[in-house]
Structure 1
Amino acid sequence: MDVAAVRLRSSFHGEVHVIIGPMFAGKTTALLRRIQSERDNGRSVVMVKSSKDSRYGLDCVVTHDGKKMPCFAVPNLSTFRAQIGHEAYNKFDVIGIDEGQFFEDLYDFCCEAADIDKKTIIIAGLDGDYMRRSFGSVLDVIPLADTVTKLTARCELCGRRAFFTFRKTAETQTELIGGADVYMPVCRQHYVNGQPVTDSARSASECTMN
């Protein structure tokens, strides 16, 4: 690493940026856009996601519309540095974290990476589960954040702004990884009217199959 690069890196202070919202709100798309912008500005970037999410494989972060970027998949963030090696970790300026709700150690990692290691951390994750309760540690990180961006989706039933994620199936565990086959974004009205939403989803599914 040349002297100019060292000076450039030392001029940055740590930052934490959080992108939240329901499923299908474009959180991962926004994350990849931010990471690419940092890369275009000459900063060294890396993407991380949970090894729990294997929907599109473990070597890439992938948006619902197919955009993707290589990543490291780890069971928890505390193992990330050891997995890539301390020398490689020290070279990265920006760390993107997708599906942040799956990392129980998200708060501690952000404290150390931003406050001590002077990394820029950009997190995308769900702020609430299908019951509209806090999901994982994403909301715990907000007091650490320089910026918080709340995205919305489009209600699958009426087209209005959707703030919530509705689960179409009968499973009740908090962590149930899935896509449009399991979840849909809905507005407040259609979230509250849960049974009609479920009926509509089933009808749409039956029509597709027929």
Structure 2
Amino acid sequence: MKSLLNPKFSALSPKASPFALFSLPSSRFSFRSNPRRIPNRLLRLNPSPCSSNNFCCTIQNRSLQTEPSPPPSGEIHVIVGPMFAGKTTSLLRRIQSETTNGRNVAIIKSSKDTRYGLDSIVTHDGAELPCWALENLSSFKQKFGIDAYEKLDVIGIDEAQFFDDLYEFCLQAADHDGKTVIVAGLDGNYLRRSFGSVLDIIPLADSVTKLTARCEICGKRACFTLRKTQDKQIELIGGVDVYMPVCRQHYVSGQVAMEATRHVLESHKVECASHT
């Protein structure tokens, strides 16, 4: 993808400035022949007398002080779902589509995710694109370069649940910088509780896509992620060796089975400790 912006290469095509400056010639503001055509909003009567030349100059000065039009507003699109639902694949598909349409793009992922290397975003199916691996999103503009950032049209964020400043970044990028931000991440952790700040940006989003996987046990639609190991920490990065997508029925039964296993293992440790 030649137009993809990443730490290794940049193929930004020059674009015309989105803002055009217009100046109106002074001849257009000669209202001597028919002063009734002056819009009411431009008229401001002064109690002191003034000449017609001074009046025309006042109108010209006010037109020059007109504020420039605000930058175009951006968009925020959120892709959520359990693990193995195809969130990253969907994100990459959107990014490739934007690139095909001639828009300048960049992809960010959390530096915590080192499963497939730091300088690329990789799906579970093996699709790969270069990216920026960052600890926080607030550093992106500075590291990417202010001038390069201004030319960006689309920003993709993968594994968004690991960014604590996700809300602030998306708000600034879309509302004030005019960027299209495409966010992919887990909406819930293995305990089915809110994970990171992903759900916080739902009120900001133009669209929200909830993907599902296939239950590894019965093959039905899977909306939840079941952790296979005994680890209890919230942030535990892993793949099929640690997690699997399950339906509601097998999530509940799986949690019961995992809890029973924990009790057995803990009691076994206690017995072993008592015999030593």
TM-score under structure 2 length normalisation: 0.68
Larger gyration radius, structure 1 or structure 2: 2
Q: Comparing both chains, which one has the higher relative contact order based on Cα–Cα distances under 8 Å and sequence gaps of 6 or more?
A: 1
Residues 139-158 of structure 1 show CA distances to partners (whole Å, capped at 9, x for unaligned) of 00000000000000000000
CA distance in 1, matches of 2:256, 2:196: 29
1:46 and 2:106 equivalent?
Answer: yes
Aligned residue in 2 for 1:178: 238
CA change 1:195–1:7 in 2 (3 A) is closer
Aligned residue in 2 for 1:128: 188
Measure how far apart 1:82 and its partner are. 1.2
Contact residue 189 and residue 195 of structure 2 kept, 8 A:
yes
CA change 1:171–1:192 in 2 (3 A) is same
CA distance in 1, matches of 2:135, 2:98: 25
Greater mean deviation of Cα atoms: 10-19 or 166-175 = 10-19
CA distance in 1, matches of 2:256, 2:229: 13
* Secondary structure of residue in 1 paired with 2:192: coil
CA distance in 1, matches of 2:173, 2:71: 16
Aligned residue in 1 for 2:220: 160
Residues 155-203 of structure 1 show CA distances to partners (whole Å, capped at 9, x for unaligned) of 000000000000000111110000000000000000000257659xxxx
1:138 and 2:201 equivalent?
Answer: no
Identity over aligned pairs, percent: 67
Candidates 237, 252, 258, aligned match of 1:192: 252
Residues 99-143 of structure 1 show CA distances to partners (whole Å, capped at 9, x for unaligned) of 000000000000000000000000000000000000000000000
Contact residue 99 and residue 105 of structure 2 kept, 8 A:
yes
TM-score under structure 1 length normalisation: 0.89
Contact residue 71 and residue 177 of structure 2 kept, 8 A:
no
- Consecutive aligned runs of 4 or more in structure 1 exceeding 3 Å deviation: 195-199
CA distance in 2, matches of 1:7, 1:79: 25
Q: What stretches of structure 1 of length at least 5 have no aligned partner?
A: 200-210
CA distance in 1, matches of 2:72, 2:126: 32
Candidates 187, 204, 210, aligned match of 1:150: 210
Contact residue 71 and residue 178 of structure 2 kept, 8 A:
no
Contact residue 129 and residue 174 of structure 1 kept, 8 A:
yes
Which structure's residues are more often strand, by fraction? 1
CA distance in 2, matches of 1:11, 1:197: 55
Q: Aligned pair count?
A: 196
What code does the residue aligned with 1:91 have?
K
* Secondary structure of residue in 2 paired with 1:192: helix
1:92 and 2:155 equivalent?
Answer: no
Superposed CA RMSD: 1.8
* Secondary structure of residue in 2 paired with 1:158: coil
